[in-house]
Structure 1
Amino acid sequence: MQQPIGVIDSGVGGLTVARELMRQLPKEKFIYLGDTRRCPYGPRPKEQVKRYTWQMVHYLLEENIKMLIVACNTATAYTLQELQQTLAIPVIGVIEPGARAAIKSSQNKQIGVIGTEGTISSEAYPKTLKAIDHSISVDGLACPSFVPMIESGILSGEEAEKIVSTTLKPLKKGNKMDTLILGCTHYPLIKHLVQAEMGVDIQVISSGEETAREASLILAYHGLLQQGNSIPVHEFYTTGDMEKFRNVANSWFDAPIQVLELVELDPIQSSAN
């Protein structure tokens, strides 16, 4: 199938998922749309997140995508079921793959989750984890300062270390977890800081690898895998600062991105209304 795969996110965070998708599915073309102008989604009301998500979806449907990957935990928590029920193409979120990866990793069934206010308040991770294994104990922490820091390009250094240390302090008090889920696709960009703060005994899990594995299986099941040996040229779109987006993308990928364009989403109406 020559059609591309669409990836949406509230900003640059979904690039962490996109990189893993490109690694596991090297023949596939990906079109990535990050709503950086309206990022973060975490503090926003549920209906607003749903409306913004549908605007991104409509934009990518115009590109004739064969699969949609919602690489944003907040958008996944609020819209995944609706998208799966409405769209005629396969739709994958990042919460269930992340939960499965954490369960594989944990030895004592004590799992922590850090994410945006929206993701944590939705309790999407505890519900998903306990649906798989009801005996799992889950401790969540909202980290509202992380996404704005990452979107600003602050990924290392003294300022970033201080923000991470201060934010994670409540999670460290008396906690017996052995696994911590990065419940926001922005967070792998600062995984080294989170790991350093939590310590080597904690397995820090991101959902990118498991999400890509699931995408591969679903594409194969539906007969949608790309055939041939042509090298795809991926396309990236952002609603905000192009240079900030390019800088983060180029630091995260093995080679500079070739196609990056600015888009406007506001005029597009939501199917969720």
Structure 2
Amino acid sequence: MLHNGPIGVFDSGYGGLTVFKEIVKELPQYDYIYLGDNARVPYGTRSFETVYRYTWECVQRLFEMGCRLVILACNTASAKALRTIQQQNLPELSDLRRVLGVIRPTAEVVGTLTQTGEVGILGTQGTVASGSYVIEIAKFFPEIKVVQEACPMWVPLVENNEFNSEGADYFIKKNLDNLFAKSANVDTLVLACTHYPLLEEKIRKQVPANVNLVSQGEIVARSLNDYLLRHPEIAVLCSSNGSRQFYTTESTGSFDKKAEIFLGHAVTSSHLEL
């Protein structure tokens, strides 16, 4: 008989905490385990094979800790690993387990937000190179033009608590100028990395007032709620005691300090050795 367990939320670092925060707000009754692979961050510049291997290792650890449902709260992992995990790894398991990502829920709604029919994607090099947003958005809104811009410095700025610095202003302006040079008609920008909401205030200052900024946390949280309503066989496997656990593959002291920036409250994490 299958025992129920927490919902797992995975990210390569801290960015997934922006999604975790919204999921907990939307569905506070469930138990959650957050796992950050901080020892091997960043994922954005790594190969497809490496991102897949790292992600699957972490997903398996969450399964071992009792999770039956895992959310990849990481765009790079969703882009480079999710499909392989869903199509190859999960069918080999002897029981019911599911892994979901953050790209598809965003792609399902982004077309309803644009008036010009042009959407910009701001993401890591890995997410942009994968073309995942272009592919997924085309499935739901084939008429929409998608313009992408890789922002390799944005994650390090956030990870090193430099997101309020003048250096952040410089790189944000540089990447936004690059994107709008590709098309001035973009009126909806997807922050296609879960770190980027911490830069949202600075981004808003650099874009026209009519441009929508799309953060993924609330979208993913609503999508998960809908998924569990449509799949009661999965919902029943998710335990509901309102507990929260945090794990990191790096220093717990560093994780706790930075996690507080993302969540707005103190956390106490445990170290996980892979």
Mark yes or no: TM-score above 0.5. yes
Relative distance call for 1:227 and 1:57 in structure 2 (3 A) is: closer
The answer to whether structure 1 residue 182 and structure 2 residue 182 are counterparts is no
Relative distance call for 1:110 and 1:80 in structure 2 (3 A) is: same
Structure 1: which 5+ runs fail to align? 266-273
What is the match of residue 54 of structure 2?
52
| Contact residue 101 and residue 205 of structure 1 kept, 8 A | no
Written as runs of structure 1 = structure 2, the 5 A alignment for 1:17-28 is: 17-28=19-30
What is the match of residue 160 of structure 1?
168
- 76-85 or 121-130, which deviates more: 76-85
| Contact residue 5 and residue 239 of structure 2 kept, 8 A | no
Relative distance call for 1:118 and 1:15 in structure 2 (3 A) is: same
Relative distance call for 1:144 and 1:179 in structure 2 (3 A) is: same
Q: Distance in 1 between matches of 2:121 and 2:83?
A: 21
The answer to whether structure 1 residue 76 and structure 2 residue 78 are counterparts is yes
- Which secondary structure does the structure 2 equivalent of 1:55 belong to? helix
Q: Distance in 2 between matches of 1:117 and 1:91?
A: 23
- Which secondary structure does the structure 2 equivalent of 1:211 belong to? helix
What is the match of residue 111 of structure 2?
103
| Contact residue 4 and residue 66 of structure 2 kept, 8 A | no
Q: Distance in 1 between matches of 2:110 and 2:141?
A: 11
Q: Distance in 2 between matches of 1:235 and 1:54?
A: 20
What is the match of residue 144 of structure 2?
136
AA in 2 matched with 1:168? L
Q: Distance in 2 between matches of 1:178 and 1:218?
A: 29
TM-score by length of 2: 0.90
What is the match of residue 37 of structure 2?
35
* 1:96-146 superposed Cα distances (whole Å, 9 cap, x missing partner): 111223212111210000111111011100111111111100100001111
Q: Distance in 1 between matches of 2:110 and 2:223?
A: 15
CA displacement at 1:244 relative to structure 2: 3.4
AA in 1 matched with 2:257? N
Q: Distance in 2 between matches of 1:104 and 1:91?
A: 26
Q: Distance in 2 between matches of 1:109 and 1:243?
A: 45
CA displacement at 1:63 relative to structure 2: 1.0
Q: Distance in 1 between matches of 2:196 and 2:77?
A: 15
Q: 1:201 aligns with which of 195, 199, 210?
A: 210
* 1:166-200 superposed Cα distances (whole Å, 9 cap, x missing partner): 23221122521110011111111211112221232
Q: Distance in 1 between matches of 2:52 and 2:136?
A: 20
Residue correspondences, number: 262
Q: Distance in 2 between matches of 1:50 and 1:168?
A: 29
What is the match of residue 93 of structure 2?
none
Q: Distance in 2 between matches of 1:254 and 1:49?
A: 29
Q: 2:258 aligns with which of 245, 248, 256?
A: 248
Structure 2: which 5+ runs fail to align? 91-95
AA in 2 matched with 1:165? K
AA in 1 matched with 2:172? V
Q: Distance in 2 between matches of 1:241 and 1:14?
A: 17
What is the match of residue 270 of structure 1?
none
- Which secondary structure does the structure 2 equivalent of 1:125 belong to? helix
Relative distance call for 1:200 and 1:243 in structure 2 (3 A) is: farther
Relative distance call for 1:160 and 1:243 in structure 2 (3 A) is: farther
| Contact residue 152 and residue 244 of structure 1 kept, 8 A | no
* Root-mean-square deviation over aligned CA pairs: 1.8
Q: Distance in 1 between matches of 2:225 and 2:85?
A: 19
Q: Distance in 2 between matches of 1:244 and 1:18?
A: 18
| Contact residue 239 and residue 264 of structure 1 kept, 8 A | yes
